[in-house]
Amino acid sequence: MSTPHNNANKGDFAKTVLMPGDPLRAKFIAESFIENAKLVSEVRGMFAYTGNYKGVPVSVMASGMGMPSMGIYSYELFAFYDVENIIRIGTAGAISESLHLRDIVFGLASCTASSYADQYGLPCRPAAAASYTLLKNADSAAEKLGKTVHVGTLLCTDVFYEENSSLAEWRKMNVLATEMESAALYYNAARFGKNALCICTISDCPITGEECSAQERQNTFNDMVRIALDTAVLMK
């Protein structure tokens, strides 16, 4: 089968899919971590690969940037390709003063002003939350790897270049970091009764002005990738 955005065949995707935003990061992960990685889709340059990690089938596919793009690709994986678990692996900007460059954050929940959830016709915006099973297994994977992680709420925004920053107000609500995809992923997972988790590495700190280069964002942050892959193994 195929969709307007995916030319993979039914069965080409593993039960668990890692989703970085950048197609080149997906390619890097497939070539660096996954054994016998096979390209299964490349529509619109959104590379998708399937192979094995520690003997367990796993896939990696780019999601693109923002909730509309994540919404399309995660929807199709859940609805048409029998994917059970999606782990977003990407970058985030620190809101909490306790976070520093390359710290890892697990998104327990995601707050958003996006209208994405309006499609469900509910009287209020539903909570966008991670799967407990994925979160528990990711925490176990991080502990076994000896990696410290931060667990808490993310701010998922439609706007990268915001005219009037509200980060200080979100900091008062103990929101850890901001990114652009988690809420759509969590809503889709809830809608289909599937599992989702957002794992982010801090790539910039607006408070201090620190930031990673574009190349560092594409080719580093390997601790986050290893945690996600080991989580996929635990979900077999």
Residue 198 located in a structural domain: yes
User: Cα–Cα distance between 49 and 31 in angstroms, integer?
Assistant: 9
pLDDT at 220: 59
pLDDT at 26: 96
Residue 10 located in a structural domain: no
> Among 68-77, 121-130, 161-170, 209-218, whose mean pLDDT is lowest?
209-218
Is 162 a residue whose pLDDT tops 90? no
Query: Could you give the number of structural domains in the chain?
Result: 1
- Give the pLDDT confidence of 68-91 residue by residue, as tens digits: 999 999 999 999 999 999 999 999
pLDDT at 127: 94
Residue 7 located in a structural domain: no
AA letter at 142: A
Strand ranges, E, within 26-127? 35-41, 48-53, 56-61, 85-94, 104-112
Query: Among this protein's residues, is 139 annotated catalytic?
Result: no
Q: Which domain holds residue 180?
A: 16-234
pLDDT at 1: 66
Residue 96 located in a structural domain: yes
CATH of residue 143's domain is 3.40.50.1580
pLDDT at 217: 67
Residue 11 located in a structural domain: no
The catalytic position among 12, 22, 204, 230 is: 204
